[in-house]
Structure 1
Amino acid sequence: MTGLRLAADVGGTNTRLGLARGGVLLADTVQSFRNDAFGSFAEVMDLYLQDAAPGGVEELAIAIAGPVTGATARLTNRDWHFDAAALSRHLNGAQVHLLNDLAALGQVCPHLQADCLDTVVAPASDAGGDGQRLVVGIGTGFNLSPVLDAGGQLQCLNVEYGHVSLPLDVAERLRSHVTKAGTFTTVEHLFSGRGHAAVRSHFPADDAGTQEFLGFYAHLLALLARNLMLAFLPAQGMYFAGAVARSILTSPARGLFAERFQQPFALDARIAAPVHVILDDAAALKGCAALRLPG
C-alpha cells in the first residue's frame, strides 16, 4: 500500500494536482495543468499519476469549482462531471471524496501562516467571535463557503452564492458608471473574470483609466463584502481567494476597499471582521490533504 492521497484542485481554467501523506501536502509533487488541453479530469489525473505515483494512490480528494451533490459534482464553467464511484473504480478501489473548492479552502484557512496571507483589514485588538469564518473565491467564477470551527472540528458549508441576485446597493453603485448595468443580474455576473473584464471595458485603456477602474471595482467589492459580513458574521475573518480578488485587494485600491468596508453599520451592534487575501496557490490542495475522510 502506498499510503498516498492524491489532492486535486479543479477550477474552470486550471487543474492543480499534488500528493499528500499523513494529512500533509508534499510540496515538491505539485503540478498545474491547463484544462483546455484535456477532455476530462480523468485525463489530467492519469497523465499526472504516470510519473508522480506509478504505484497508484489509496485516496483521492478533489476540490471542485462547482456544485457538489453527495458523490457527484460538475464544474460551473466547464462541461466536466465527476462521479466518486466511477473514479474509485478507475483508481482500483481508492477512496474518493468530492468537495467544493471553497470548502477545501475553508479546511485550511484557520491554519494558514502569515506568509500565506495578505491582511487588508487587521483584526481588532478585542476581537472575539465564535469560530465563524468566510471564504470568498473570485476567479473564473464566484462562490463562497461559510466555515465553522466547533471545538476543533471544521464544518464548511456548500453554497452557490454566485447565482444570488446582485445586492441593491451594489447595483445602484454600478449604474452610476456603467451603461447597461442591468445585464449584471447576479453576483457572479459582476464578480468573476468575465464581470471584471466587462466593467474594465467601460474605462479608458490608459494608466489613469486603470486606476479609476481599480478604485471603482474595489468600492463595488467593499459593498458586497459588507453584505456578506451581515449575512454570515465571520468574526474570525473573511478570506478572499482567486485571481480577480487578488488583483483588486493587492492593488493600490486596497486602501479604498478597507475604508469603505469599515464604515459603521446602522445597527445597535458592533459588527466587524478582519479581511485577508490568500496568497498560497496550493491552499486548496492543502485543504484536500488535511481533510478527514469518512470511514
Structure 2
Amino acid sequence: MTGDRLVADIGGTNSRLGLARAGQLNTASVESFRNDDFASFDDVLVRYLSDREDAQIADAVIAVAGPVHSGRARLTNRDWHFDETQLSRSLGGRPVSLLNDLAALGQASVFLGLDSLNPVVSLDESPMDEAQALVVGIGTGFNVSPVVISKGRVAQLDVEYGHICLPADIATELSARFGAHASGFTTIEEVFSGRGYAALYALEQAMTAPEPDGDTALQTRVEQEFQFFYAGLLAVLTRNLMLAFLPRRGIFFAGGVARNLLSTPAKAAFVDIVQGPFALNAVGAVPVHNILDDAAALKGCAVYAR
C-alpha cells in the first residue's frame, strides 16, 4: 500500500486522529478534538482533513470505544454511529476498517517499547516469544481483548467480559468488608471501572468515617486503606484472567483506573498477590504492564493488517 493511512481513536470524550505510513505513526500529524464540539464523527473527519488537503489517503483504520460488529460500531456513551461503507464513501471509496479501541491496543501491544510501558510485574527473562497476551481496559467501563500472535500477525477475539457475573472470590472479599451493601455489585464492570471504584470508595467513606468534619488526616488514611483493598481486588481478578487466558506474553492494563492505582504504594499489595504460586503449573509467570502511551491505539491502527 502506498500513501497515508488515516488512523483514529474515538473515545467517549475526545477523538484523536493522525496519519501513518508503512505501519509507522506520524506523530506530528496527530490532533485531538473534543467530541462535545461536534455533532458526529463525520464532522470531526471533515475538520481534520480540511487542514491536510495534501494528504494522500490510501485507507483508514478507526478505533471506537464501543462494540464493533459487521462493519458497524457505536460509542457507548454518545449517539455516534459508524459504518465502514458510509465512511468509505466519505473518503472517496478508500477502504475503511473499524476496530474496538481495546482491539487497537492489542494490535499495538506487540510493538510498544519500554518508553510506552510502565512495568508493574517484571520477569527475569523476556516472554516475547510467547504467542498470547491480554489487554485489560479499566476506565469508563471494563473489558478485555485477548491477543494471539501467529506468523507475525495479531489476531483477537471479541468479548464482553465486563458484564459477566462477579467471580465468587471477589464477591467474598466485598461481603467481608461491606456486608449486605456488597449485594449491589454483581458484575465485573460494577466493581472494576471508574464508576465502580468511585461507588466502592463512597461506601468505604460512609462506613469508615461518616462524619470526617474536615479531618484531612483521617480522610487520607481512609483513602490509602481503600487503595490497598482495591489493589488486592484487582490482583485477584488479574490472577483469574491469567488462568482464563494464559497470557504468558503479558497483561497490558489500559485506562486511568489501573494506571493511577498502581502508581500509589498500593502497588506493593497488588504485586504480592499476583506473584503468588498457582496450583496449576500451566499458568507460569506473567509480566504485567501499564500502557502509558496516549497514542498507543493510533499505533495499533497503523500496524493493523486487514
TM-score with structure 2 setting the length:
0.89
**Which whole-Å deviations, capped at 9, do the CAs of 1:249-286 have from their partners, x for residues lacking one?**
22221111011111222335453211011110100000
Mapped partners of 2:279, 2:299: distance in 1: 39
Contact 1:222 1:257 in 2 (8 A): yes
| Counterpart code for 2:151 | G
Q: Which residue of 2 aligns with 1:223?
A: 236
Mapped partners of 2:26, 2:49: distance in 1: 14
Question: Does residue 284 of structure 2 align to residue 271 of structure 1?
Answer: yes
Contact 1:17 1:48 in 2 (8 A): yes
Q: Which residue of 1 aligns with 2:269?
A: 256
Mapped partners of 1:105, 1:127: distance in 2: 18
Q: Which runs of 5+ in 1 are unaligned?
A: none
**Which whole-Å deviations, capped at 9, do the CAs of 1:85-125 have from their partners, x for residues lacking one?**
01111122121001111111111112111111111111243
Residue correspondence of structure 1 range 45-84 to structure 2 within 5 A: 45-53=45-53, 57-84=57-84
Larger radius of gyration: 2
Question: Does residue 120 of structure 2 align to residue 107 of structure 1?
Answer: no
Q: 1:65 Cα shift?
A: 1.6
Contact 1:2 1:55 in 2 (8 A): no
Number of residue pairs matched?
293
Q: Which residue of 1 aligns with 2:189?
A: 188
Q: 1:66 Cα shift?
A: 1.5
Q: Which residue of 2 aligns with 1:177?
A: 177
**Which whole-Å deviations, capped at 9, do the CAs of 1:21-42 have from their partners, x for residues lacking one?**
2211110121222223333222
Structure 1 vs Structure 2: percent identity of aligned residues?
Answer: 55
Judge which range, 71-80 or 274-283, deviates more. Answer: 71-80
| Counterpart code for 1:13 | T
**Which whole-Å deviations, capped at 9, do the CAs of 1:186-237 have from their partners, x for residues lacking one?**
1111111111211121234722122112111111111111110000000110
Judge which range, 118-127 or 16-25, deviates more. Answer: 118-127
In structure 2, the CA distance between the partners of 1:88 and 1:3, relative to structure 1 (3 Å rule), is same
Task: Please give the secondary structure, in 1, of the residue aligned with 2:165.
Answer: coil
Q: 1:16 Cα shift?
A: 1.4
Judge which range, 201-210 or 244-253, deviates more. Answer: 201-210
Contact 1:142 1:161 in 2 (8 A): yes
Task: Please give the secondary structure, in 2, of the residue aligned with 1:16.
Answer: strand
Which consecutive aligned stretches of 4+ in structure 1 deviate over 6 angstroms post-superposition?
A: none
| Counterpart code for 2:223 | T
Mapped partners of 2:145, 2:126: distance in 1: 25
- CA RMSD after TM alignment: 2.1
Mapped partners of 2:196, 2:7: distance in 1: 30
Judge which range, 171-180 or 133-142, deviates more. Answer: 171-180
Mapped partners of 1:269, 1:72: distance in 2: 38
Question: Does residue 169 of structure 2 align to residue 200 of structure 1?
Answer: no
| Counterpart code for 2:265 | P
Q: 1:54 Cα shift?
A: 6.0
**Which whole-Å deviations, capped at 9, do the CAs of 1:104-156 have from their partners, x for residues lacking one?**
11111121111111111112438587411001111111111111111212112
Equivalent in 250, 253, 256 of residue 237 of structure 1: 250
Mapped partners of 2:159, 2:13: distance in 1: 21
Task: Please give the secondary structure, in 1, of the residue aligned with 2:78.
Answer: coil
In structure 2, the CA distance between the partners of 1:256 and 1:46, relative to structure 1 (3 Å rule), is same
**Which whole-Å deviations, capped at 9, do the CAs of 1:35-93 have from their partners, x for residues lacking one?**
23333222222222221446563311111122111211122233322110011111221
Q: Which runs of 5+ in 2 are unaligned?
A: 206-215
Q: 1:174 Cα shift?
A: 1.8
Q: 1:290 Cα shift?
A: 1.0
| Counterpart code for 1:177 | R
In structure 2, the CA distance between the partners of 1:278 and 1:258, relative to structure 1 (3 Å rule), is same
Mapped partners of 2:167, 2:230: distance in 1: 15
Mapped partners of 1:230, 1:35: distance in 2: 38
Q: 1:248 Cα shift?
A: 1.2
Mapped partners of 2:82, 2:50: distance in 1: 20
Q: Which residue of 1 aligns with 2:98?
A: 98
In structure 2, the CA distance between the partners of 1:243 and 1:153, relative to structure 1 (3 Å rule), is same
Contact 1:29 1:52 in 2 (8 A): no
TM-score with structure 1 setting the length:
0.92
In structure 2, the CA distance between the partners of 1:207 and 1:288, relative to structure 1 (3 Å rule), is same
Mapped partners of 2:10, 2:177: distance in 1: 35
